[in-house]
Amino acid sequence: MTVGAGGKDAALGADADGPTDENARTRPMPDGVERLFSGYRQFREHLYPGLARLYDQLAQGQAPKVMVIACADSRVSPSMIFSAGPGELFTVRNVANLVPPCEAGGLYHGTSAALEFAVTALAIEHIVVFGHAQCGGIAACLAAHEGLPAGQFITPWVDLAAPARDEVVAARPDLTPEALQYEVELMSIRHSLRNLATFPFVQEAEGARRLTLHGAWFSVASGELHWLDRRTGAFSVVADSE
């Protein structure tokens, strides 16, 4: 950041490029940050040259056809799993890939805002609620059922999955912990799809056949994608080849 003479940076004895302390300039960065810079340099050298024209076009605006509501989990990258390039997926990620119901109360509705923009401004044609195995958010929801809150902000957020959890627990009280986690991950996707249908602009777009809702679940261990048949409510593995 550049400021005028006598401004904040000058008062702190720093120039516009950063600290003046030579040791600070040469101090090794944390591995995580250095990995980002290394990855960026690979992108610039090997990927960007072939994508430069595409990025130039995307600078004029985006027109994705698909929105993915995915988990923030680092193991599950929608762009990688769907082999999607820049501009193809409009993605929102949160803990446990949850969709809240439409409500006017409160002040901050990040997922709802992204949904509204996708449907009303981008005219998205498909929305995929994309869950995955070993989801920590679903585990937190299950733990809360046992009286073990996960945190100040996590606990109320994952409570959105409580109806899915309670439905599975009531119907299948004999499940092992691993099986319960799996079934609640799937049921939570179904419930998020129901919550999507509570937004008036989603209802309108679906009714006009401009929008289709989908559910999917990814196995981290096997790399397999399971797709929801909304007519039957069952998930099945997507074939590796057509």
Where do the domains of the chain lie, and which CATH numbers do they carry?
Answer: 8-61 (no CATH), 62-237 (3.40.1050.10)
Render pLDDT for 75-86 as a digit per residue (tens, 0 to 9).
999 999 999 999
Chain centroid, CA 190 distance in Å: 16
225-229 and 212-218: which strand pairing? Answer: antiparallel
Euclidean distance between CA atoms 154 and 95, whole angstroms: 8
Residue that is written with structure tokens 């959105």 in the block: 160
Q: For the chain, what is the mean pLDDT? A: 90
Residue that is written with structure tokens 């299948």 in the block: 172
Q: Name 133's Cβ contacts closer than 8 Å, sequence gap at least 6.
A: 182, 185, 217, 218, 219, 220, 221
Euclidean distance between CA atoms 182 and 170, whole angstroms: 15
Render pLDDT for 178-200 as a digit per residue (tens, 0 to 9).
999 999 999 999 999 999 999 99
pTM for the whole structure: 0.86
Residue 7 has pLDDT above 80, yes or no: no
